[in-house]
Amino acid sequence: MARRMGFAFMSGLAGMALFVRSEEGSQWEFLAMGFAIGAALGGLVLAVEFALHKASFGVIIGATTGLAVGLMLTGLIEWVGSAVFDVETFLFHVGGLVFLLGLPYLGMTLGARFGQEQLGAPARPSELSVVDSKKILDTSVIIDGRVAELCETGFLEGTFLVPQFILHELQHIADSSDSLKRARGRRGLDILNKIQKMVDIDVRIVDDDFPNVKEVDSKLVVLAKKVGAKVITNDLNLNKVAELQGVRVLNINELCNALRPVVLPGEAIRVFILKEGKEAGQGVAYLDDGTMIVVDNARRHIGRTVDVIVTSVLQTTAGRMIFTRLKEEAEVKEEVQVARG
């Protein structure tokens, strides 16, 4: 702040020096006028400085070049005027100020426009942050339906590409004689129609096909490499094949696994024993997200809600399994260990 005030004051002194009338001595009215005009010009320069903070590099270079050319023209006109007019008049001083202010300003304006057009206009923040991220939907993820819920929450947006061969596969499933397959196919078409109506999603039907490629999964990978898109899928095999060929994959199952609540060994949870486990005496329960919980010696509690203690957690590519024991048995075992200790 002090630096800017000092600059404005020095500009005022420079204006006073410009209005000194040597033949009649320094008159206060002219000195005051010169100081005011000089200070105003200094304020204009400070305003330009503030504007430069928001200007792009091309605008700054162009404006600086134009300003330099304008100052040179002003100096040339001042020199020619001093040589032609022997008597310095007040009008001559005013005309000099007009040239001193006008030509550099015009040069700076034209130079800034040239720099903006030739060297590139400043990019807006919204333009920098918006990336056209294309995503290809495969058959499994369309039928699954969770992708539509992710789109509704705003976690997925942008351009969704649906190849014609995926649509044909969905139609073939929807026309199947098997009632279960037919229902899955129709569900997939309904989900696709739902996504297509969403505001933030741009669904495009792609006609690209690859006759030399037989498998649908392979066609998806080839198309993704061609257009530079990601593949959204639930198919583990497609996931592996795409990653081997350098195609980015968004696996809905992996996302759901990552969002499941963390359960640590030793933590107590309350579960409903739904059915019998594979091993003798085991009971099986499920969390709300579908995670299987195996409870030792809980067969007799089938159809009841019990408290269990987590003993271990097994993470696999298919999901997660939590192994537990009944809380009452864990407490008895702990008491026995304490008594022996």
The yes-or-no verdict on residue 23 having pLDDT over 60 is no
Q: Which of 227, 258, 289 is the last residue of a domain?
A: 258
d(CA 126, CA 130): 6
Whether the predicted pLDDT of 126 surpasses 90 = no
Mean pLDDT of 105-127: 53
Q: For the chain, what is the domain count?
A: 3
Record the pTM: 0.49
Mean pLDDT throughout 90-94?
47
Q: Within this chain, do residues 31 and 89 fall inside the same structural domain, yes or no? A: yes
CATH number of the structural domain spanning residue 305: 2.40.50.140
Would you give the DSSP letter of residue 214? Answer: -
Last residue of a domain, one of 206, 239, 258: 258
Q: Which two tokens stand for residue 61?
A: 């270079």
Cα gap 187→142, rounded to integer Å: 8
pLDDT digits (tens, 9 = 90+) for 238-276: 888 888 888 999 998 888 777 777 788 888 999 999 999
If asked whether residues 154 and 72 sit together in one domain, one would say no
Structure tokens at 199: 């505001």
Q: Are residues 165 and 141 in the same domain?
A: yes
User: Does any domain span residue 76?
Assistant: yes
Do 69 and 156 sit in the same domain of this protein?
no
Residue 30 has φ and ψ, to the nearest 5°, of -70, -40
pLDDT per residue as tens digits for the range 301-329 = 999 999 999 999 887 666 678 999 998 88
Q: What percent of the chain has pLDDT over 70?
A: 60
Q: Is 124 part of a structural domain of the chain?
A: no
In the predicted model, what is the mean pLDDT of residues 286-304? 88
Q: Based on the domain organization, do 146 and 249 belong to the same domain?
A: yes
* pLDDT score recorded for residue 194: 92
Mean pLDDT of the chain: 76
Q: Which domain holds residue 156?
A: 134-258
Q: Are 88 and 178 in a shared domain?
A: no
Residue 305: in which H helix or E strand, if any?
strand 305-316
Residue type, 28: W
Enumerate the β-bridge partners of residue 231: 136, 249
Per-residue pLDDT at 34: 65
Whether residues 44 and 109 fall in one domain: yes
CB atoms < 10 A from the CB of 290, how many?
10
For residues 209 and 243, state if they share a domain.
yes
277 and 253 within one domain: no
Q: What is the pLDDT of residue 90?
A: 44
Checking if the pLDDT of 20 tops 80, the result is no
